[in-house]
């Protein structure tokens, strides 16, 4: 049995470990539920805050907005955590 030279061992080990930029993509969490103060629930695949508005995208690709003041942040966080989709609010 031949010993592997140290320079080859380290290159083999480096090849076995993924580089940081080659990490697996984040899992698709599906949809988020935005809960409004009036109790309405809105499903969104993505959302962001722009000044005093929340811009969100629905499953069919439509872009919609709502006022930040209309969002029930505590209920939104709770509902999404219950579904296994944790959120960090405020945006």
Give the Å distances, CA to CA, from 59 to 8, 14, 42, 44, 47.
Answer: 50, 41, 11, 6, 12
For residue 35, the number of C-alpha atoms closer than 13 Å in the C-beta half-sphere is 13
Q: What is the pLDDT of residue 87?
A: 82
Q: What is the pLDDT of residue 5?
A: 52
Average pLDDT (16-25) is: 55
Average pLDDT (5-21) is: 51
29-91 fold: SH3 type barrels. (2.30.30)
Q: What is the pLDDT of residue 79?
A: 93
Percent of the chain with pLDDT over 90: 56
Confidence of residue 91 (pLDDT cuts 50, 70, 90): low
Round the average pLDDT of the chain to a whole number and report it: 79
Give the Å distances, CA to CA, from 22 to 10, 15, 16, 25, 66.
Answer: 19, 12, 12, 9, 37
Of residues 39 and 26, more confidence is placed in 39
DSSP string, 22-77: GPPPPPP---EEEEBTTS-EEEESEEEEETTEEEEE-TTS-EEEEEGGGB-HHHHH
Of residues 24 and 34, more confidence is placed in 34
């Amino acid at each position: 049995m031949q010993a592997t030279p140290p320079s080859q061992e380290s290159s083999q080990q480096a090849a076995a470990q993924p580089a940081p930029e080659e990490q697996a993509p984040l899992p698709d969490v599906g949809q988020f539920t935005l809960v409004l103060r009036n109790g309405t629930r809105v499903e969104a695949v993505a959302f962001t805050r722009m000044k005093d508005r929340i811009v969100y995208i629905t499953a069919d690709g439509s872009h919609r907005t709502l006022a930040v003041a209309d969002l029930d942040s505590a209920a939104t966080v709770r509902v999404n955590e219950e579904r296994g989709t944790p959120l960090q609010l405020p945006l």
